[in-house]
Amino acid sequence: MKSLFACAALLALAACNSEEAAEAPAAEAPTAAASVGPVKPSMPAPDEETFAAAYAEACTAAPKVSTSLCKSAGFGKEGFVCEYGLGDDEYRRNSATLMPEDGKWVLAEADKICAADAA
């Protein structure tokens, strides 16, 4: 008799629990429909040649860029942070930020960067 009562209680709990599970997927359906696909970038990421051209355009009197490496400024941030070496230097000792402007990459705060590299 006790086991029959225990089985009946378990069935009642299982029945109550199944109704909540059926309601949960209905609540999740609108959020799945609102998901956004990947965004296509408007400009390609700058490579070594792109940075060298942007630097040469901004700092005409400075030595030529020998090596560079650009990394994204961060998730949700615009631009790239580039580390670079000048002249015969094979090490990336300097840092600059590239920002998109009118469909091309330009140095942010070019006057400060050029002044520091000329010294």
Q: Where are the domains of the chain?
A: 1-34, 48-118
Which among 110, 61, 117, 74 has a CA at the least distance from the CA of 92? 117
At 80 the pLDDT is 94
How many angstroms separate the CA atoms of 112 and 42, rounded? Answer: 27
At 87 the pLDDT is 87
Digit-coded pLDDT (tens) for 72-86 = 988 888 899 999 999
Digit-coded pLDDT (tens) for 28-61 = 555 544 556 565 667 888 999 999 999 999 999 8
How many angstroms separate the CA atoms of 84 and 113, rounded? Answer: 12
> Where on the phi/psi map is residue 22: left (φ > 0), alpha (ψ -120 to 50), or beta?
alpha
